[in-house]
Amino acid sequence: MALDRVAVITGSAQGLGKGIAEKLGGQGYKVVLSDINEEVLKETLEEFKGKNFEVSALVADVTKQEDHDSLVKHAVEEFGKLDVYINNAGVEGEVEQIEKIDPKNIDFVLDVNVKGVLYGIQAAAKQLKDQGHGGTIINASSIAGHEGFDFLTTYSASKFAVRGLTQVASKELAKDNITVNAYCPGIAGTGMWDRLDEKFMDVLGTKRGEALEQYASSISLGRVQKPSDVANLVSFLASEDADYITGQAILTDGGIVYR
């Protein structure tokens, strides 16, 4: 029997977001996929339909407040309600010395990683309040939201900000039985880390794959992260088993940052 829970996941056409969507879809969630990349989004939608997931998709730009409103509306029209809203979409930004950061890049990273999360919280909170039965909002932070990493100035700043948004929202929405938490991935073998590796080559003079290898060597469990490692945590936070957890930014990094 299908699980009577509806989840919206931003940035879910590929990478960690796709892994989260696949986990929830496999558990019986009704899932709304969303991404700015329409072509890849369509491919993922068809792939998941082939697995008999209850799934729909909508192209959205998380930097636009109205797109989050559209995602919530789409979820309600397709599946009747909203239970879980996952602000997964994010960008890595520049890899650069702090004194050389481009102002345009600052704006871009903060627009996606901070405003994109805030707008998602706002849209989801309104719907969940209107429904009157609570729900959960889950945000993507990072190990770089617990500790600043060299040459990742804007990314680290944005992910620290996500932790702040998570705490504030959790306090304000608790009376409505809405939990708000964040997940903090580490080093994953995804497209984002492929791009980071290339950017480190320009700044540090490393060879292809070398930066990833150096960062991965610090992982206590001895391997880079898989999307399923993150999805396992997010699926728990999305479940009723996590109803007494709120305001937390939980590390899932194989043992890099210890708090």
Instruction: Cite the annotated binding site by residue number.
Output: 35, 61-62, 88, 155, 159, 185-190
Q: How far apart are CA 231 and CA 254, in angstroms?
A: 14
Contact 86, 234 (CB under 8 A): yes
Going 18 to 23 to 25 to 29, the CA torsion angle's sign is negative
Q: How far apart are CA 33 and CA 45, in angstroms?
A: 7
DSSP string, 177-236: TEEEEEEEE--BSSHHHHHHHHHHHHHH-PPTTHHHHHHHTT-TTSSPBPHHHHHHHHHH
Residue 124, CB-side half-sphere exposure with 13 Å CA sphere? 30
**Six-digit token string for 12:** 């879910």
Nearest to 161 by CA among 105, 115, 94, 93: 115
What is the β-pairing status of strands 84-87 and 135-140?
Answer: parallel
Q: How far apart are CA 201 and CA 209, in angstroms?
A: 9
Active site residues: 155
> Which residues fall in the annotated binding site for NAD(+)?
35, 61-62, 88, 155, 159, 185-190
> Distances from the Cα of 72 to the Cαs of 27, 127, 179, in angstroms?
21, 7, 17
What is the number of other CB atoms lying within 10 angstroms of the CB of residue 166? 26
